[in-house]
Amino acid sequence: MKIKNILVSFVAVLALALGCDQIEPDHYLSEVKVSTSYVAISMDGGSTPVTVDANGSWTITGAPSWLTVSPASGGAGSTTVTFSAAKTLDGRTAELALACEGKTQNINVIQGLAVVSPATCKEVIAGPDSKTYLVTGVVTSIANDQYGNWYLNDGTGEIYIYGTVNSSGAYPKDSGGWGKSPFDFSVGDEITVQGPKTTYNGTVELVDVTVVKLNKSLIKVAETDPEDAKLPLEGGNFTVKLDNKGTGVYVEVPAAAQEWLSISSISGNTVVFKVAPNAGGDRNTKLVFKTKSGGKEYSTEQSLFQKGSILAVSVAEFLAAPIDDTQYRMSGVISAAYPSDKQGKSFYIKDWSGETLVYRAENFKDTGLKVGDIVTVVGKRGAYNNNPQMVSGTVETVIANVEEISIADFLTKPDDKNKYYMVTGTIKDLLGSDGKENVYGNLHMTDGTNELYVYGCYPGYGATGDNRKNFIANAGIHVGDQLTMIGYKDTYKGLIELCGGIYFSHTPAN
């Protein structure tokens, strides 16, 4: 808090305490006088009148958005000016200027007490949004060092700090970067911050906080081996050397990592870990190092990543996977573009088990791929607003560039099991070439003139075994519906067939 605000708060409280006794300045301006130069408004909101006696025209400026001044200007004579404010959760102050005949009279306004009491993270989490809090805790991780986004934990809970600003309201990127005062802090440091609370998508945040106090941690990571803290799939040793000014070193290995990560040795301030070979997908963890001094505990942390195999999964298995660094490979049909991505790098992929968004695959835009093409993608499981998506992905393989053609044109194409087409027609019957009903979706479709036999309508790309059965009935597809299929052309005993059986979409007849 600025010194002048403290003085304003003190004077306003004193004015309230004295009740009807006015506190007046030692001298008055001859051009303009006010009944009081200190205006107090209740925390519950309300209005306070002030009489302005002026020799000429006057204007009041400097009112913040939360304060209404009416009227804000006038002429010679006596005028009642009303200062109004809505209910507030925090005390606040304002300093206004009353100008008349080239002279200025200051008017100080206070609503409640502009003093923020210390709170715990638990109290912040349970408290109302928009209220300003003063919290002390330990920096547990830093999400963005350009704007000062990080996590603070005081033992009662954890809150997200969304933006750190200096006294001028500048972010780290505008103040010389992270490591410049007042942003010279890192994981493990104890810090006191002040800022208003908000809740975004269920995450409790303090927004654009200011740093009130900083106690540097006595333990830091000096260096690691490997330097990038990334271990290969085969595993090996990971060494951490600490800069420790406390007493002793205590190491915490998260329970979820203890199956593949163990402490090999601790010698002074050097800790060696043993990392087991990785038979699964990518994995990572955060190691916590602690020390003690003067009855207080200090900590720091170090991330560790180990490369894993790329796991081949169906879309349904991908959707059920956890959000982490594991790499997944899945194949399917590009079912739609993602219109919200102006970069043109995002699309939906669909196989027999489900559909998911591939968000901004780096090489997608330049491939010329389109809806209907069959591809293999590799990436991580992510989510946005609880909606699953593949992130950090890439198109690994183009299985087929699918050509959309009519039934008439399809009938003229040569047999080729490596060339796929997208064909649309009306279902004439749901019978096989033998004239019998079946569970594999054998059917005849027509464009009104030409007829095409579909040898199997399966739920999507990659369906095998029993997953190919009963799709027509399960999807509620009927004779007369318009059906779009993807497949290749083949001929069996003189009968032209669309084979491969990839269902794309259908439109009910009604």
Which CATH number do you get for residue 439? 2.40.50.140
Span of 208-222, 257-271, 342-356, 419-433 with lowest mean pLDDT = 208-222
How many CB atoms neighbour CB 381 within 10 A? 22
Q: Please report, for the domain that includes residue 64, its CATH number.
A: 2.60.40.10
Using CA atoms of 376, 382, 384, 385 in order, give the dihedral in degrees to the nearest 10.
Answer: 130
Which two three-digit tokens encode residue 314? 């169906």
Average pLDDT over residues 301-327: 93
Domain boundary among 400, 430, 465: 400
**The total number of structural domains that make up the chain:** 5
102 and 24, same structural domain?
Answer: yes
**pLDDT per residue over 18-75, tens digit each?**
333 333 333 457 788 888 878 889 888 999 999 999 999 999 999 999 999 999 999 9
151 and 78, same structural domain?
Answer: no
**What range defines the domain where residue 130 resides?**
118-215
Domain boundary among 215, 242, 264: 215
361 and 297, same structural domain?
Answer: no
Instruction: Check the CA dihedral 402-408-409-411 and report its sign.
Output: positive
Report which of residues 418 and 92 the model is more confident about.
Answer: 418
- pLDDT grade, residue 366 (50/70/90)? confident
94 and 40, same structural domain?
Answer: yes
Residue with the two structure tokens 């349904």: 316
- pLDDT grade, residue 91 (50/70/90)? confident
286 and 322, same structural domain?
Answer: no
Does this model's pTM top 0.75? My answer is: no
Alpha carbon 19 to chain centroid, angstroms? 51
Q: Please report, for the domain that includes residue 241, its CATH number.
A: 2.60.40.60
Q: Please report, for the domain that includes residue 346, its CATH number.
A: 2.40.50.200
290 and 279, same structural domain?
Answer: yes
Strands 46-54 and 77-85: antiparallel
Average pLDDT over residues 210-229: 92
181 and 228, same structural domain?
Answer: no
Which two three-digit tokens encode residue 33? 């006088």
* Structural contact between residues 307 and 231, judged by C-beta atoms closer than 8 angstroms: yes
Confidence check: pLDDT of 301 > 90: no
97 and 56, same structural domain?
Answer: yes
The pLDDT value given to residue 31: 84
Using CA atoms of 270, 276, 280, 281 in order, give the dihedral in degrees to the nearest 10.
Answer: 20
43 and 22, same structural domain?
Answer: yes
Average pLDDT over residues 124-141: 90
Domain boundary among 94, 111, 128: 111
Q: What is the mean pLDDT of the chain?
A: 89
Residue with the two structure tokens 């389109």: 370
The pLDDT value given to residue 28: 52
**pLDDT per residue over 431-455, tens digit each?**
999 999 999 999 999 999 999 999 9
